[in-house]
Structures are given as structure tokens and as C-alpha cells.
Amino acid sequence: MNYFQYCRRFSLLSLLLAGSLAAHAQQEDISLLFDIHHILAYIVAACMMSIFIMLYLNRVYYFKTKDAASHQRRLNTQLSIILDSNKTKIWTYDVDHDLFTAIVTGEEMEKKYTPMDFLQFYDRDDFRHLLGIISDIVDGKTLTETLAMKNPRPKNDDEPRQYYDVNISVLRRDHGDRPLILLGIQHDVTADREREKLAHNMRLRYKTVFNSSQVDMFYYGADGRLKDANDKALETFKIADRQALLRRGVKFNDIPAYEDMDIKTMEYMHISSITYIDKRKREDERIPETRIKGQIYYEVDLVPVKDENGDNIGVVAAGRNITEMVESFHHQQEAARQLKRSTKDMQSYIDNINYSLKISNVRLVNYDPDNHELIMFSDLNNVQYRLSQIRALTLLIQSEHRTARGLMRRMDNRHKDNFSATLCTIFRDDKGRNIYLQFQMTPIVDKDGEVTHYFGMCRNMTEMVYTEQMLQEETAKAQETEQLKSAFLQNMSYELRTPLNAVVGFAELYNAEHSPEDEPVFAEEIKTNTNVLLQLINDILFISRLDARMIEFDLQPNEFASLFDGWCYMGWSALESSAKTIVENPYSGLILNIDQQHLGMVIQKICTYTAYDVQGMTDGMVRAKYEYHHGELTITIEDNGKGLTPEGQAKIFDRFSRDSQGHHQGTGLDLPIVKELLEQMGGSIELQSEQGKGTTFYISLPCEMIYMEKKSEIIA
């Protein structure tokens, strides 16, 4: 029931009520109408009529409001559909109350926000710009304005950002034409922005690839004329003016290789061509202003550009100048032919070398330190023997094993020096003599200077060796006596006379007039110099025997681990009490096949030297240690004493040589004896020293290990 139906019913009821009162007034006396009963009846009737009228008006208002709400909902639904389909939102701004009202979809059509609350929907800088535009419109500086805005940056980088175009205009003004309500229409342009960004990136990517490509790029339009060329293409064809080339409008079919192609129907093609530029310039004036000369080898990929209907709207030509590649290939072919000729000449040269090796009875030798294998070649192409280290040693007589092992160790350690050695084998010639072979080896290094292998020659030296032996034997017999005499006299020098003169001098003082208190001093000096003289004579006799090769070495199994400590401390017996001694003995048991007497002498003499080096120091320290690896005993003895100058290091092993400062005592023969002993035992000695920092001796001695027991493991 609508509003008009209620009005008609109310009018009819009012007429009926008025008629009833009029009829009642005609029937009754008018005076009776105003007695107390009638008055009460009238009041009740009036109240009833008021209640009825109020109920009536309430229902009228209810149905009117309901109809209006229903109509409003229909309008809101239609508005929501329109706004959502257009990705549009509407809001208003109340100038007097400084409030934003957003028109939203759903049951609640309006939401009011303060500027601080409304800020949450937009970027802070964009919202500041929005407030500036609102201020300009309120001040009358402008009637309407459109600006681009975006939402705040999402916390999650994966979420896309929204972009809007917002138009602001005046919705309502007061009587003085002052804006009261402003209308904002916000359109979501995020998708448009994404499409524009994608298109921009595509254009930028195309332009970047086109201009930065390492190949020549040309683009021809649908009319077949050149529209663009990248820098690489201009560089290839030596064209200086890009715009002049484009203005010329070179046609696709002007290119010699494309003369018979139809740009509208062509598909992808790969073309290789040879063009004689000078000839084309003479025959065709349409050739662009290229400064390239001669012939050019060129390969190109022709890729048609199609529209959405599949029709060709252009062609992209991606090519490269392969002239250098082709010429390089031709040069390679020529080089291959030259290599073939050189190989033939080299083979002839190799054949000549092989013939020379054959008639001279010489073999080529190669040693590989990685697999410890010795290879002998009968000629440059054929391997005659492959020998392991053990197999090679079995082909030598027993006395040559130590020398051979030392040479192999040098090669295994990749020493960079050339060496030559003559070894006696177990083979015999037709005269029953042992065959001697001379090995001359040269290290071969890589580009980093590291030794990779050794290469050399093996020559039969039997005749020469036996001839030299005969000469040496005869010469030795004639010179033996003279050599012994000369060696003895040479070792005397003034060193022998110095202590002798001291003894004689103090003896004369003793016989002369003197004080009795001086007699102990004379006796002590005579005793000291007598001991020095005795030690000097013993050293001279020993080194003379060394020179004459009269020292015999008795190799016996000895417990080196226990002997080493004693030898060291005997050599350090002259140390002051403040000096610190360290012996590093990593073995609880080590039995070696060594000469105990002479090796002990070597260690004691070196320890004695280090003890003198730290003499007079409050923080002196001497250290001794050893290791056994791969058939070699390595001993290190060091101190932190006075050290040696470079000149002193050069003369340290010379006989009767002392440092200029006189730091070290002794006869001057200790270290020469040590060096000679070690060399005759097949070992070596080296030192490192720096003045003021001490001296370190390194002893290396090949020897056979019988038993080894480390402090953490047992090896036998």
C-alpha cells in the first residue's frame, strides 16, 4: 500500500466522522452536547482520533521510507555496477568540515575520513599534491584539475602498485559562489600503466638490441625501403652519415643478393654472398656511399616482420662480415699445406737423427718424476726399454746404487740443474769388462717454470772409462807419495805454528825470572795451547786421510733415535747454563744402516759450532731435530746466536777459515771435515744464516732404514 492510498482512506474517514457528529447534533439538544458526559465522550473520541492519526502517519512514513530505501538501493546497485565496470571511485570533500566522504559499494554507501585517515589510500607526496590542488580550487585559482596518483608502496615487493587518474571539480557552492563540496572522480589506470610500461620496455629492448647488437642490423619497411641501421652495420660498411643513408631510401631489392626477392611474400632465409664492392660501384650508382673496398664475404638472416593478420610489414636483416673468417680459413688451409711440407722435411730430419744414433751407439733417455719411470729410445720413434727405479738399480753394480738413488732423488725433487753421471752396469762387453753408461740429463720445464720431466742421452763410455782408469792408476802410483806429502804440508800453515809458539813462549817465560804467582797462569796457557795443538794435529791427520780417501766407512744397523740425543748434548757440553737446549725426537725407535762413528762426529762438531754461536747470550737457544723420509735422513741443527755475514757464509767450509769477528773457536777444520765426511758418505750439508739472528744447518744423508717406530705409530 503506497502513500496516495493512505491519503484517500484518511480523507474518507474524516468525512464520515464529521457527518456522524453533525447527525448527532441534529438529534440531540445542543445544550446537551456540552454536559460533562458529552465532554468526556468528545475528549475520548478526540484522543482516539489522535491515536489513529498518529498510527496512520507512522505507517505513511514507514512505507514512504521503505519505498525510498528500495529505490535508493536500486540506484546504488546500478551506480556500483557502473563504477566497478569502469574501475572508478567517487569521493567528496567538505570544505567547511575538512572531511573526505568516499562513495563505496555495499550496504554502507558513504564513509567519512579525516585527511590523516584518507592519506592511508595514497602515496604521501601524491596526497600532498592533492591537498594543494584542493586549496587552489577553494581559492578560485582553478575550476577543475586532474592529477596522477598512486597507492602507498606495498610492504611486500611482490604486490603490484596501483595507479589512478583523479579529477577534482566543484560539486556544490554557497550563495556567494564559494565552493562547499568538491567532487573527486578516481579512475584506476594500473592496467593501462602496465600496458604502457610493457610497450615501452618492448620498444626499449628492441632499440637496445638493435643498436647494441654485435651483428649488423637493417630494417626495411613494407615499401621495401631502408628505415633504420645500427652502428655495427654502419661500421661494417664504413658509412659515416646514417641520416644521409636513410634519406637516400635504399630499396631492399637494390642489394645484389636480394634482387629477386619479394618482401611481401618472403619467409625466413639465410644467405651467404660474395660481393665485389669496387665492381658494383662502377656498374650501379645506387650503391650507397660506402668506403669499403675489395671483395666482401657476407652472411645474413632475413626475418620478416608480420602484423596480427600474418602479413609482412617489414624485414629485419641481421648479418655479419665474415671476410676475415673466410680469409682465415684460407690461410689455415695454406698453413695446413705448409705444415704437411714441414712435417715431411721434419720426418727426413728425424730419419737422419735416427741413423746417427744407430751408428754412434747413443740412446735417447726420458725420466718422468710423476711415475718414476726411465724410458730409453732406440730412435726418436721407438721405445727400447721402460725401467722402474727398482729395475734400473738392479742393472747397476752394487757400488753404484747409492749414486743412482741420489740422482733419481734429485729428479724426483725436480731440481732444475743439468747433470751428468757415468754408471757401471752389470752387463759386460765382448772383452769381459763391465759396460759403463754416461747419462746426460736436462730438465724440461713448462710455461710456469716447473720441471715436468728430464730428457737426455745415454752413451756407452766403456772404452773411455777403462782408458781413464788405467791412466789414473798409473798417475796415482807415481803421485801418491807426493800428494800425501803436499796435502800434509798444505794443511800445516801458520795454524800449526801459532799454538806451538805459544807453548814455547810461555815455557821461556817460565824459565826466565818471574813471580811465583804467575806460574799457574803459565802452566794453564801451556796446557790450553798444547790441547789446541793436539786437536789441530789430529784434525790435520784426519783431513789428510780424507783427502787421500783412506777413511773407510763401516755401515752397521744402529739405534739412531737413542744415539742422536747423546751426540747433541756432547756437542753442547760447552754451553753456558743460561742457554736453552731443545732436541726434537719424533721416534721412539729408528734403526738405520749408518757409520756410527763418523756420523756422530758430524753431529757433535755442528752442535759444538752452534754452542759457540750463542756463547755470551742470556737468551741463547739451540735446537736439533731429524726426520727420515724415502730413504733419506734429514737433520736440522739451529741456534739464535750471532749468525754470519754473507762473506762469512761463503768461506765457512774453507779450511783454516774463521769469521772476521772471531766469534767461533776451534781449529778452523771442523766444518770442512764435516762437509768432506758427508760428501764421502753420499750426503750433503747446507746452511742458512743471518747476522744477529743465528744459523741453521741442514744435513741430508741417504741411508737404509731397518726399523722405524714413531711415537704415535709403528712401521717395520
Which residues lie closer than 8 Å to 602 by C-beta, 6 or more apart?
674, 677, 678, 699
What is the Cα–Cα distance from 517 to 537, expressed in whole angstroms? 31
Place of cell 546497485: 77
Cross-strand pairs, 697: 637, 687
What is the Cα–Cα distance from 226 to 219, expressed in whole angstroms? 6
| Model pLDDT for residues 111-155, shown as the tens digit of each residue | 888 988 888 888 888 888 989 998 888 888 888 998 889 888 887
Per DSSP, 298 falls in state: E
| Model pLDDT for residues 51-83, shown as the tens digit of each residue | 888 887 777 777 777 777 666 666 556 556 666
What was the pLDDT predicted at 489?
58
What was the pLDDT predicted at 453?
92
Question: Which residue type sits at 574?
Answer: A
What is the Cα–Cα distance from 209 to 220, expressed in whole angstroms? 16
Within 10 angstroms of residue 51's Cβ, the number of other Cβ atoms is 10
3-state secondary structure 308-361: CCCCEEEEEEEEEECHHHHHHHHHHHHHHHHHHHHHHHHHHHHHHHHHHHHHHC
What is the Cα–Cα distance from 642 to 139, expressed in whole angstroms? 97
Backbone angles phi, psi at 465, to 5 degrees: -65, -45
What was the pLDDT predicted at 112?
87
C-alpha cell read off for 508: 821461556
What is the Cα–Cα distance from 148 to 127, expressed in whole angstroms? 10
Provide the pLDDT confidence category of residue 631 given band limits of 50, 70 and 90.
very high
Cross-strand pairs, 385: 376
What is the Cα–Cα distance from 87 to 80, expressed in whole angstroms? 10
C-alpha cell read off for 662: 772471531
What is the Cα–Cα distance from 672 to 675, expressed in whole angstroms? 5
What was the pLDDT predicted at 83?
61
C-alpha cell read off for 607: 752442535
Cross-strand pairs, 94: 99, 181
| Model pLDDT for residues 334-375, shown as the tens digit of each residue | 888 888 888 888 777 777 777 776 666 788 889 999 998 998
Helix (H) or strand (E) holding 394: helix 389-394
What was the pLDDT predicted at 527?
83
Q: Picking from 8-22, 477-491, 577-591, which range would have the lowest pLDDT averaged per residue?
A: 8-22
CB 147 within 8 A of CB 130: yes
What is the Cα–Cα distance from 564 to 661, expressed in whole angstroms? 31
Rg (CA), the chain: 59
Cite the beta strand spans of 191-307 per DSSP E.
Answer: 216-221, 226-229, 269-276, 295-306
CB 221 within 8 A of CB 246: no
The chain-wide mean pLDDT, for the chain, equals 81
Over pLDDT 90: what percentage of the chain? 16
Burial of 203 (0-12, 13-18, 19+ CB in 10 A): exposed
Which residues lie closer than 8 Å to 616 by C-beta, 6 or more apart?
576
Within 10 angstroms of residue 532's Cβ, the number of other Cβ atoms is 19
Which residues lie closer than 8 Å to 584 by C-beta, 6 or more apart?
623, 624, 625, 626
What's the helix, strand, coil split of the chain in %, to 5?
Answer: 45, 25, 25
Provide the pLDDT confidence category of residue 716 given band limits of 50, 70 and 90.
very low
| Model pLDDT for residues 148-182, shown as the tens digit of each residue | 898 888 877 777 888 888 999 888 888 888 898 98
Can you tell me the mean pLDDT for 199-228? Answer: 73
| Best mean pLDDT range from 313-327, 349-363, 613-627 | 613-627
- Res 648 pLDDT > 50: yes
Question: Which residue type sits at 269?
Answer: M
581 CB-side CA count, 13 A: 20
| Model pLDDT for residues 657-713, shown as the tens digit of each residue | 555 454 445 566 788 889 999 999 999 999 999 998 999 999 999 999 999 998 875
Cα distance from N-terminal residue to C-terminal residue, the chain? 121
Burial of 632 (0-12, 13-18, 19+ CB in 10 A): middle
73 CB-side CA count, 13 A: 7
Per DSSP, 251 falls in state: B
Residue 75, phi-psi category: left (phi > 0), alpha (psi -120 to 50), beta (remainder): alpha
What is the Cα–Cα distance from 446 to 631, expressed in whole angstroms? 29
CB 419 within 8 A of CB 411: no
Which residues lie closer than 8 Å to 274 by C-beta, 6 or more apart?
295, 296, 297, 298
